[in-house]
Homo-oligomer: A and B are copies of this chain.
Amino acid sequence: MIEKIKTTIIALEKQALKSWNNGNPDGFLELSSDDVVYFDPVFEKKFVGKEALKAYYEGFRGKNKIDFYDMIEPIVQVMPECAVLMYDYVAHREGQSYRMHCTEVYKALSSGQWEITHTHWSFVLNNR
């Protein structure tokens, strides 16, 4: 059960990342809950709610083209009604690489689906 949840969470995230890195934010938007709380490294304040996140993500549509990326050593903590996914991340674009950290809190719905209630993306400082 726990292992199956871990596999499911990582697969959901990888699918959304694949779309995101091809310029399509819909994967993450569809996964995110209406009350999602989102930390972006270039904004001082949190984004609260899917509408706020959507307004921000729309600006990336068709633009975010990543040549290569990797989810590094993902760990999933299963509670089990929520699952916390944590991974190191690297993206390569136009000859530059970006090292990031990502936390995603997934909540189990009664339908058996999962939704993201919290996302925290940040840059690793000494690689900037």
Contact = CB atoms under 8 A, between A and B. Distances in A.
Mostly, the A contact residues are strand
Contacts of A46: 73, 75, 86, 88, 101
A15 interface: no
Given A37-B77, A48-B75, A117-B77, A105 B123 contact: no
Contacts of A6: none
Question: Number of copies of this chain in the oligomer?
Answer: 2
Contacts of A35: 77
A79 B81 contact: yes
Interface in A91-112: 99, 101, 103, 105, 107
A59 interface: no
A124 B86 contact: no
B48 A99 contact: no
Contact of A124 (B44, B79, B81, B88): B44
